[in-house]
Amino acid sequence: MDRIYIELIQKDSLMEQSYINASNELLLLRIVDSADKDIESLKKSVSRLRQRNIDLYLASEDKDVKITRNRTFGIFGVCVAILAILIR
C-alpha cells in the first residue's frame, strides 16, 4: 500500500513539474517572440533613419550648390556694377 501511495505522489510530482516546465517553455517562447518583434521594429526604425539621413544630406548638398551659385552671381554683379560706375 505504501509503495502505491509513494508512486502516486511521485506521479503527481512529475505532473506538476511537467506543467511548470510547459509554462516556462511558453513564457520563453513569448519572450523570444517579443524580442523578434522588437528587433524587426528596430530594423525598420534604422532603415527610416538612414533614409532620412540620406534625404537631409542631399538637401544640404543642394543648399551648398545654391549658395555657391548665388555667391558667384553676386561677385559678378558687383564687378559689373563697379565697371558701370568706372565707365561713366
Task: Render pLDDT for 27-53 as a digit per residue (tens, 0 to 9).
Answer: 999 999 999 999 999 999 999 999 999
Which triple of cell numbers denotes residue 22? Answer: 510547459
Residue count of the chain = 88
Report the mean per-residue pLDDT for the chain. 91
**pTM exceeds 0.85 for this model:** no
State the pLDDT at residue 62: 93
Q: How far is CA 11 from CA 5, 15, 16, 19, 39, in A?
A: 10, 6, 9, 12, 42
The C-alpha cell that represents 53 in the structure block: 539621413
